[in-house]
Structures are given as C-alpha cells and as structure tokens.
C-alpha cells in the first residue's frame, strides 16, 4: 500500500530520496529506479528532494464543507474525579494560555461534573478567560457517552480552533470519541505544541515508533485541531486567585435513562505509589536482580524523601508492581532528581523520564545508553554504590 | 458469543534502530509482529468463546503482508480472519482507520463484543478503539483489566478498568467495544493444530469495493491529520559527568556534594 508515486520515465535513480526517507522505505530496483515499500506512509519528505520531480503523493480530494475561519479560541477539557480536578488539566491550561496568547484568542476551560463551582474558579486562577460549566448529576462521574456528546454539542455551538485534553485514561477515552463524532484530527501524546507562523496552524509534535522518531502533525482542513498531552510533559502554571473570568452554563444532552453505562465502584488502590508527583525518584531495573534488590533502592529513596520507580524489565519480572513503572507504557515523570540504578536506558524508558531536571545513572556497563543522557554517572556495581550513597547522604543530611 | 478482534501488524519497535548519520529508521531486518497489546485482546476473546461458545473473528487493515498476523491469530485459535487491504486505505490516520474497520464490522454483521488493544506500539495513540465504537454507535470500555461478569440474556457486561486512581467497576450493555490492558490475561502460544489450520485457511481480502463506504473518507484522503515532518529526537543534553575516584566512598561523597550544590537535596 505504498502511497508514493514514482514516475518511472523520469526517475534517474540518483538515490537522493533514499537519503531522506525517515522510514527506510525506498530502494532501487534492478532497473535502477526507485520503488517504495509498504513502510512508506506518505510523509512526503522525499518529494521536494527529487531533482527530476519524479516523486508525488496522491492529491487530496474533496474536503468537508467547513470554513476554518469560523473557528477561533483555545479550549481545554478540565478532568475531575470526585469533585477534584486532575493536575494534568492545569498543565493543559498552561499550554492553552500560551497558544491562545500567540493566536490573540480566548482560553476556555470546559468543566463537566456535578457541583463543580470550585473547579471553575480554579480554572480561572490558572489562566482561563472563561469557563464553560455543565453541571448535572448525570455528569458526576466520568462516562464516555454523556461527556462526549455534551462536548460535541458545545464544540458545534462555539467552534473552538484548538481543543486540548490531558492524555489520562479518561482524556484519551473521551478525545477519541469526540474527534470521531466531529470528524476532525486528533494527535495523541504530544510533547510539543506550537503555532506555525504564517499558516497559524497548530504544530503537534509527538514521539512515534517507541520514541525512536519525532513526528510533526498538522490538521489543516478540519476543526477543532485536537490534541492530547501526557502528564508532566509541560510545567504547571502559576495560580493567581485574583484572576477573574466569565462563567457560561451549558446543558447536558443525555438523560440518565439513555446512558447505557453505570460506574458501580471505584476501587482506590491503597498506598498507591504516586511516582508521577514525586520530586525525587530512585528507580531500579533488571540490574537490581530480584525483589530483594529493591530493598537498597527503597533505602536510598527513603533517605531522600523520594519515591521508588522501576523499568519495565523489573516490573515484567514481577519484582515490583506496575504502578512503579516509568516509561512509554508506564508513567511519565518529571522529578527534580531521577536516579537510575541498573537501568540500561532504553528509548522507551527514556520516554518517561528524560525531562527530569537532574539524572543520575548507576550502572556497571560504561556503554549503557543511560549515561548519554545522565548528568552524573557512576560506573560500578549498584549493590556497592547504592548503599554507599545512602550512607553518605545520611551522614551529610544528618539523618 | 460473537467476538471480533481488531489487530494490527507493527514493526517490533524494540528492534527499530536509527541510522545515526541519516537520522532515519532502519527497517531492514526488523521483524513484523502482532501489536503486543492485541495478543491480549485475542486471548480474551478466545477465553470467552471457550466459556460461552460462539466464534472469534480477527480483522486487520493493512498491506498484503499483514496476512501473516492474521494467520498467527488463527494459529492461536481464532475461527475466522479477514484482511482489509486496498490502495485506497493507504495512509489512513486513526480517523480513517476507525471508519474503515467500522465499515468492515458492519459487513460482518452480528457481534456481541469487539476487542482492541489499548494502543498500537508504532503509533501509540489508543484512538482507534474509541473511534470504532463511536463510528458503530456502541459503548466503549477502555483499559479493561478484567471482565467480571457477562450475561448474554440480559445483554449486560461488567468490567474493571484501570484508571489513574485504581480500578473502576463499570457496567454496560451489549454489544460493546473493549480495549484491553495486559493485566487482563496471559496470551497463549499457537498450538501445532492451530498452526496447521492457519496454513490451510483461506483468508478473504476485502477491498473498498466490498465495503459500504464513502471513498472520500478512506486512506490519506479521508484523514484529517497530516504528518509534515519526521525527525530523530534531539538527545537530552545531560552534563554527562562520570564521577571517578579512588574508592566508591569517595565517588558517592562527590556525587552527594554535587547534588547538594544543585540545591536538589536539602
Ligand atoms: C512497546 C514497548 C513499550 C515499552 N515501555 C517501557 C516502559 O514504559 N518503561 C520501560 O522501562 N521499558 C519499556 N519497554 C522496555 C524497554 O525496551 C527495555 O527493555 C527496558 O526498559 C529495559 O529495562 P532495564 O534497563 O531494567 O533492563 P536492561 O536493559 O536489561 O538493563 C539492565 C542494566 O543493568 C545493568 N546492571 C546489571 N547488573 C548491575 C549491577 N550489579 N550494578 C549496576 N548495574 C547493573 C546492566 O549493565 C544493564 O545496563 C518497552 C518496550 C516496548 C517494546
Ligand atoms: N490497521 C488496523 N487494523 C486493525 N486494528 C487496528 C488497526 N489499527 C489499530 N487497530 C486496533 O486499535 C488498537 C489501538 O491502535 P492505535 O489507536 O493505533 O494505538 C490496536 O491495539 C488494534 O486493536
């Protein structure tokens, strides 16, 4: 299903396109003419490189009848559970504020729930110009249908240009449904959001292929431009309680009888480790060798008042629970200090911790990739280094 | 019980390497696998079939090679498989993928449950499951780690979902779409019998002509998003200081001083 069209008449087989294909999808056939394999996903990187103009992508056909000019403003969905807003939503408000300012537009927070006045006020304190509130018992606990249908109606009515949601389990669940209803583009897990000069389009930058590459994605012809962003990728904005704004009351669109799902219970995991919010994290990987090995990791974390993290290798081996996993399929963390012990630093692990302020690596293999991103490293056996570090810190901190 | 499992063939991203000079993906020799999360989806459907009877159909949209992923699913025990493959599907983003999969599911007709993985490891979006459910106008239950109750007479299902705070117990009506996390089960290996069956089975290939679709909504054409640039991520600029000293005691003492100087430890 290669998308790229190669004009066999004009292709000279110069191979310049081979150099730029990010997916290694191009090869020369036995007639010295370029062929695109299935790995071609139509990114178009090669098209302008071809000196003979032999490469092309299919022309886009009819677009839906929307006038992108009719859409303006930035929206953020504010997630809440049990009447408490999720901090990820404030990170979105911080980003939304920046984008709205660049576009010279308003920032709107959408608060769906029941008895959520306090959250609406908080949203303004963090930077929203106005808050769209839909307050109803049917929205007390997040459920896809009533939330998605309500947001879809609001978007149709108010036509925001950009719509951001946190990439939490609920945010991803909701965003996928809303974008499908609206027939618009949705980019998951963005790590960068910028406004493109000239076009004023939202540039959505995100990792793909397990973090091996970064893709920039645009949604030129459909609105709103929707994106989700993971927790801790962006910083929390400052709250300013004196900020004022407008509150608009919206209406729910589904009566309880029409909602087919019921949330029966929320089993909150006791002493659930919240590595996502920890300022200091000490993580162990396969090098820790077993559940007992995490003993010295815990001791170091305790001295530092930090939390314990882990690589997927350690979690998959059953040495520690999934709640501790840092990385692409675990948590994203952004602590002030991340100490990686016996972790090689695979790209999927890095994806979850590379924005830490200071990274320390303890590993016996000097070639381990973790050293390439670390600020400080000690090459050595973690079973000797970690307890020694704990002892040194204890002494230094008078504990 | 009629179950449909959506699976995707992906490059094994642990094996994907970057050409350091060109900054491009080296795909040569990178094996194609069933998206790991989808194997849990297949397993869950098979377990339900073993309990309730019925049929498990696996579908994938992809290039002709994706046939091997379907065969692997048959080798695990799936009853039927369908490949959706057409030049017109190429370049689909999650919107157009969901649209096409939903059209195929409508053509298959009856189903009680649709299974997807929580996300595919190449794109990592997790958007196709909700997309398919929304296209089909059925309920979606995402991040499911346990199916705790299933009642086909009452057309009711009860599941546990993995959410940030812990586990959420949710009840929904059938039919519905479920995306699974890997806590849900341990996928089985293909059996000898299954492998033999997979070698013989004729897997139908559906093209756009076989589906009731608006052609404007397919593939790159129907995709709202455009990938405009691909680059390798800039390496994190760490200070990269390897601390060397006579003894471990001295090394850790230097490290402790550095961390205190950074004002991180107080
Ligand atoms: C789709 C997908 C998603 C993934 N998601 C994640 C994720 O979210 N998080 C994640 O972490 N991984 C993830 N991975 C897995 C990732 O690719 C690596 O396999 C994993 O991170 C490796 O863990 P590790 O560093 O602990 O183990 P290894 O790579 O085996 O490294 C162990 C390290 O310990 C060192 N060591 C051994 N003994 C000692 C000792 N006594 N003293 C000091 N050092 C020692 C070794 O030198 C080595 O560098 C994912 C993979 C895939 C395919
Ligand atoms: N091309 C495809 N064919 C069949 N199923 C797919 C396809 N793409 C995604 N899926 C399903 O949707 C899930 C989520 O994929 P994604 O949204 O791409 O992360 C996967 O785990 C699959 O179950």
Specify whether the CB–CB gap between A202 and A162 falls below 8 A. Answer: yes
CB contact under 8 A, A264 and B169: yes
Identify the pLDDT of residue A254: 95
Which CATH number describes the domain made up of A68-258? Answer: 3.40.50.620
Where is B251: in which H helix or E strand? helix B248-261
Q: How many CB atoms are closer than 10 A to CB B189? A: 8
Tell the burial category of B16 from Cβ atoms under 10 Å away from its Cβ (0-12, 13-18, 19+).
buried
CATH assignment, A275-396? 3.40.50.1220
Q: What is the mean pLDDT of chain A?
A: 91
Domain B2-217: assigned CATH number: 3.40.50.620
Phi, psi for residue A299 in degrees, rounded to 5: -60, -40
The pLDDT tens digits of the residues spanning A113-141 come to: 999 999 999 999 999 999 999 999 999 99
Question: Which residues have a Cβ under 8 Å from the Cβ of A382 and sit 6 or more positions away?
Answer: A287, A288, A296, A341, A342, A362, A363, A364
Average pLDDT of the segment spanning A101-110: 97
Q: Which fold has domain A1-59?
A: Alpha-Beta Plaits (3.30.70)
Question: Residue A63 CB: number of other CB atoms within 10 A?
Answer: 13
CA dist., res. A332 & res. A325, Å (int): 9
When comparing pLDDT for A197 and B25, which is higher?
A: A197
What's the pLDDT score for residue B25?
A: 67
- For ligand 1, atom 7, which residue shows the shortest CA distance? A327
The response to whether residue A331 sits with its C-beta less than 6 Å from ligand 1 reads no
Q: Stretch B158-175: mean pLDDT, rounded? A: 94
> Which pLDDT belongs to residue A82?
86
To which H or E segment does residue A218 belong?
strand A213-218
* For chain B, percent of residues with pLDDT exceeding 70: 94
For chain A, positions 168-227, list CB contacts with chain B under 8 A. 168-170, 172-173, 175-177, 179-181, 183-189, 203, 207-222
CA dist A204 and A16 (Å) reads 28
Residue with tokens 């306090």: A118
Of B24, B131, B140, the CB nearest to A144: B140
Q: Which of A96-110, A276-290, A337-351, B1-15 has the highest mean pLDDT?
A: A96-110
Considering only alpha carbons, which residue of chain B is nearest residue A17? Answer: B22
pLDDT tier at A298 (50, 70, 90 boundaries)? very high
Work out the average pLDDT over A257-263: 95
Lowest mean pLDDT among A389-393, B18-22, B37-41, B116-120: B18-22
- State mean pLDDT over B184-189: 96
- Domain spans, chain A: 1-59, 68-258, 275-396
> Is A398 a residue whose pLDDT tops 80?
no
**Which residues lie closer than 8 Å to A210 by C-beta, 6 or more apart?**
A328, A347, A348, A351, B13, B14, B16, B121, B122, B124
pLDDT value of residue A86: 94
Given a cut of 60, is residue A271 above it in pLDDT?
A: no
pLDDT of residue A35: 86
Same-fold call for A68-258 versus A275-396: yes
Of B86, B221, B231, the CB nearest to A214: B231
| Least confident window among A82-96, A321-335, B15-29, B89-103 | B15-29
> Taking a C-beta distance cutoff of 8 angstroms, is the pair A322, A315 a contact?
yes
């Amino acid at each position: 299903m290669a998308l790229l069209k190669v004009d066999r008449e004009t292709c000279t087989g110069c191979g310049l396109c081979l150099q730029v294909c990010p997916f290694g999808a191009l090869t020369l056939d036995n007639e010295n003419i370029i062929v695109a394999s299935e790995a071609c996903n139509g990114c178009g990187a090669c098209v302008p490189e071809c000196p003979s103009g032999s490469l092309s992508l299919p022309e886009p056909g009819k677009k839906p009848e929307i006038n992108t000019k009719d859409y303006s403003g930035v929206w953020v969905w504010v997630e809440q559970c049990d009447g408490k807003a999720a901090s990820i939503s404030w990170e979105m408000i911080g980003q939304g504020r920046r984008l709205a300012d660049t576009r010279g537009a308003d920032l709107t927070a959408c608060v769906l729930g029941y008895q959520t006045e306090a959250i609406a006020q908080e949203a303004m304190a963090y930077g929203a110009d106005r808050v769209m509130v839909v307050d109803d018992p049917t929205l007390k606990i997040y459920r896809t249908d009533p939330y998605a249908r309500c947001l879809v109606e609001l978007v149709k009515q108010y036509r925001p240009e950009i719509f951001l949601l946190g990439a939490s389990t609920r945010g991803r669940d909701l965003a996928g449904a809303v974008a499908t209803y609206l027939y618009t583009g949705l980019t998951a897990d963005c790590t960068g959001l910028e406004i493109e000069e000239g076009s004023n389009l939202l540039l959505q930058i995100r990792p793909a292929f397990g973090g091996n590459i970064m893709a920039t994605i645009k949604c030129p012809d459909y609105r709103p431009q929707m994106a989700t962003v993971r927790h801790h990728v962006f910083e929390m904005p400052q709250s300013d309680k004196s900020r004022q704004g407008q509150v608009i009351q919206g209406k729910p669109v589904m009566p309880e009888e029409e909602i087919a799902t019921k949330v029966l219970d929320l089993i909150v995991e006791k002493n659930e480790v919240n590595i996502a919010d920890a300022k200091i994290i000490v993580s162990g990987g396969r090098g820790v060798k077993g559940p007992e090995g995490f003993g010295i990791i815990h001791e170091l974390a305790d001295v530092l008042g930090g939390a314990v993290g882990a690589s997927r290798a350690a979690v998959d081996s059953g040495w520690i629970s999934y709640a501790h996993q840092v990385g692409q399929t675990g948590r994203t963390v952004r602590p002030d200090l991340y100490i990686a012990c016996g972790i090689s630093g695979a790209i999927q692990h890095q994806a979850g911790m590379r924005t830490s302020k200071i990274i320390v690596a303890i590993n016996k293999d000097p070639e381990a990739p973790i050293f390439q991103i670390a600020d400080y490293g000690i090459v050595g056996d973690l079973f000797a280094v970690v307890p020694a570090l704990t002892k040194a810190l204890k002494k230094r901190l008078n504990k | 019980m009629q179950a449909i499992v959506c699976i995707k063939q992906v490059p094994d991203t642990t094996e994907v390497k970057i050409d350091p000079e060109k900054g491009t993906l080296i795909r040569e020799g990178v094996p194609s696998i069933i998206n790991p999360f989808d194997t849990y989806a297949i397993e869950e459907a098979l377990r339900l079939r073993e309990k309730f009877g019925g049929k498990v159909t696996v579908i994938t949209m992809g290039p002709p090679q994706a046939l091997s992923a379907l065969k692997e699913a048959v080798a695990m025990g799936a009853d039927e498989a369908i490949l959706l493959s057409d030049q017109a599907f190429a370049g689909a983003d999650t919107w157009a993928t969901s649209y096409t999969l939903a059209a195929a599911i409508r053509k298959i007709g009856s189903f009680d449950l649709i299974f997807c993985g929580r996300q595919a490891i190449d794109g990592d979006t997790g958007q196709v499951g909700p997309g398919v459910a929304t296209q089909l106008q059925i309920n979606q239950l995402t991040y499911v780690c346990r199916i705790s109750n299933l009642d086909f007479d009452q057309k009711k299902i009860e599941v546990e979902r993995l959410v940030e705070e812990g586990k959420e117990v949710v009840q929904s009506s059938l039919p519905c779409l479920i995306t699974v996390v890997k806590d849900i089960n341990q996928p089985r290996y293909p059996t000898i019998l299954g492998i033999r069956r997979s070698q013989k089975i004729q897997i139908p290939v559906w093209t756009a002509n076989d589906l009731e679709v608006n052609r404007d909504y397919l593939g790159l054409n129907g995709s709202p998003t455009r990938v405009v640039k691909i680059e390798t991520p800039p390496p994190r600029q760490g200070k990269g200081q390897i601390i060397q000293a006579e003894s471990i005691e001295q090394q850790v003492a230097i490290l402790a001083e550095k961390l205190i100087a950074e004002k991180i430890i107080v």
